[in-house]
Amino acid sequence: MIIIQKGKWMKGIVGFFLMISALAFIVIINVKNDGVFSFADRKLPIYCVDTKEKKIALTFDASWKEDNTDEIIKILDKYNVKATFFLVGSWIDANPDKLKILYDKGHEIGNHSNTHPDMNSISREALIKEINAVDEKIKKITGSGTTLFRCPSGDYNDSVISTVESTGKYCIQWDVDSIDWRNEGANLELDRVIKKTSPGSIILFHNDARFTPRNLPIIIEYFKKRGFSLVTVSELIYKKNYIIDYSGKQIYNK
């Protein structure tokens, strides 16, 4: 028979509640006036948006010279849908005419770095050079800069997010990944997007994926029939008075 003395028992209870209080303090969310989120001092990009409106954003990462951009543009034209394209500098160098077409047709252009580097090993100065180099290339062709940045491979850390924000850009991730670059099969990729998308979702595609042009009309028709509006990222996100929760969801904060 084990006998627990009353004093030791009370000390155990007090210790337990002190531990819980300490954990609660660690996960306190600190929201600054500019909408930056901190979870135990961790910074996050925008993965999706908290909204009751049936709005979603189609996004395409363009990194490689060979792609299906022309076919994707035709599909978006057919359904009168505007998407957001995150462009790497080398793609712009190889496809200046396609960039001009995207811009002229009203699609949104985002910055995806100049050389697609490893975000976790790049310095602040090097990242700023990467961002500025792409903006200069885009401005030379379209006359406009960018307000959105997407990290190569979706990799980031606190320094990366802070650096991106210091350039005046919103750092954009995604909550629905088609994983189309693996070319696993049209049905598998389609099912993945359909099941995971909800109001406020940001969907990731790649402009060189094999099955994306086949699935894109089906995805557009599916969501349009269900009352969804397909908009650009800038039309979806909040520009001010927001917080970002622990999952990367952007929430309007009055």
Q: Write out pLDDT tens, residues 193-223.
A: 999 999 999 999 999 999 999 999 999 999 9
For residue 34, being part of any structural domain is answered with no
Mind listing the pLDDT tens digit for each residue in 132-173? 999 999 999 999 999 999 999 999 999 999 999 999 999 999
**Range in 19-28, 97-106, 245-254 the model is least confident about:** 19-28
Q: Which two tokens stand for residue 129?
A: 């050079």
- CA atoms lying within 13 Å on the CB side of residue 111: 28
Domain count, the chain: 1
For residue 74, being part of any structural domain is answered with yes
If one compares 28 and 171, the residue with the highest pLDDT of the two is: 171
As a three-state string, the secondary structure of the chain is CCCCCHHHHHHHHHHHHHHHHHHHHHCCECCCCCCCCCECCECCCECEECCCCCEEEEEEEECCCCCCHHHHHHHHHHCCCCCEEEECHHHHHHCHHHHHHHHHCCCEEEECCCCCCCCCCCCHHHHHHHHHHHHHHHHHHHCCCCCEECCHHHCCCHHHHHHHHHCCCEEECCCEECCHHHCCCHHHHHHHHHHHCCCCEEEEEECCCCCHHHHHHHHHHHHHHCCCEEECHHHHCCCCCEEECCCCEEEECC
For residue 32, being part of any structural domain is answered with no
- State yes or no: pLDDT of 251 exceeds 60: yes
- State yes or no: pLDDT of 84 exceeds 70: yes
CATH of the domain at 239: 3.20.20.370
pTM: 0.84
14: confidence class by pLDDT, cuts 50, 70, 90: very low
pLDDT of 131 reads 98
Mind listing the pLDDT tens digit for each residue in 36-59? 444 446 899 999 999 999 999 999
pLDDT of 64 reads 79
- State yes or no: pLDDT of 99 exceeds 90: yes
pLDDT of 41 reads 60
What backbone phi and psi angles, to 5 degrees, belong to 59?
Answer: -130, 150
For residue 24, being part of any structural domain is answered with no
Per the document, the length of the chain is: 254
For residue 4, being part of any structural domain is answered with no
Do the Cβ atoms of 222 and 197 come closer than 8 Å?
no
| Average pLDDT score over residue span 210-237 | 98
For residue 41, being part of any structural domain is answered with no
pLDDT-above-70 percentage for the chain: 84
| Average pLDDT score over residue span 243-249 | 96
Q: What is the mean pLDDT of the chain?
A: 88
pLDDT of 15 reads 52
Give the whole-angstrom CA distance, residue 142 versus residue 136: 10
- State yes or no: pLDDT of 5 exceeds 80: no
Residue-number span of the structural domain to which 88 is assigned? 48-252
